[in-house]
Structure 1
Amino acid sequence: MTLFDEREQAFEAKFVHDADMRFRIQARRDKLLGLWAADLLGKTGTEATSYAQSVVSADLEEAGHEDVVRKLSADLGSRVSEAQIRAKLLELLPQAQLEIMQEAD
């Protein structure tokens, strides 16, 4: 194997790792967002966990987070605005990243 082949494999491995980390961070952010929304809906325990999982699943419908915003907007109704949901998405991203990085250590 040549040096070029080794470098190519290293870049490919890094790309796969980075993509996996982005996916895991986004899934954690969605779970945290789902737990936040569940609290607003008065859900607790396994009901809240199940709802959070439905939010994670909703994010798999299409690229980006608009599917999550639509779901939460429909579920929460007048409790919060889409702008508040989007702000919470941004607020929870660093927390999700920190949690995933700590798990990786």
Structure 2
Amino acid sequence: MSTFDDRERAYEAKFAHDADLRFKADARRNRLLGEWAAGLLGKEGEEARSYAMSVVTADFQQPGDEDVFQKVAADLEGKADQATIRAKMAELLVEARRQVVDEAN
């Protein structure tokens, strides 16, 4: 094995690790967003948890965040505007990343 091969493996491992953290942070953000939206919709307990999970699974419909945004925006029509939802998504992504990194350490 050469140093180049070792370095290549290290980069590949780091890329896979970073991708895994991004996936976990996105899923966590979606759950947090679902919990926030559930509160605005007056859902509590199991109903709120179920709704939050429906937001998480909405992310698997198409690449990117737009599918999650569209679901939450449709559900919160009249309760939160698009700018508020997008701002909350950005805020919660920061929080989700922090949580995921803290759990990984």
TM-score tier after normalising by the smaller chain length: over 0.9
- The aligned residue for residue 56 of structure 1 is 56
Using the size of structure 2 for normalisation, the TM-score is 0.95
Q: Which runs of 5+ in 1 are unaligned?
A: none
Tell me the SS of whatever aligns to 2:76.
helix
Deviations 1:16-39 (A, max 9, x none): 000000111111111100000000
Using the size of structure 1 for normalisation, the TM-score is 0.95
Superposition map of 1:1-105 within 5 A: 1-105=1-105
The number of equivalent residue pairs is 105
AA partner of residue 47 (structure 2):
E
**Cα offset, 1:93, TM superposition:** 1.4
**Cα offset, 1:80, TM superposition:** 0.8
Deviations 1:47-82 (A, max 9, x none): 111111110111121111111111011111111111
RMSD, matched Cα: 0.9
**Cα offset, 1:3, TM superposition:** 1.2
Between the aligned residues of both structures, percent identity stands at 56
Tell me the SS of whatever aligns to 1:79.
coil
AA partner of residue 90 (structure 1):
A
Q: Which runs of 5+ in 2 are unaligned?
A: none
Q: Distance in 2 between matches of 1:15 and 1:75?
A: 35
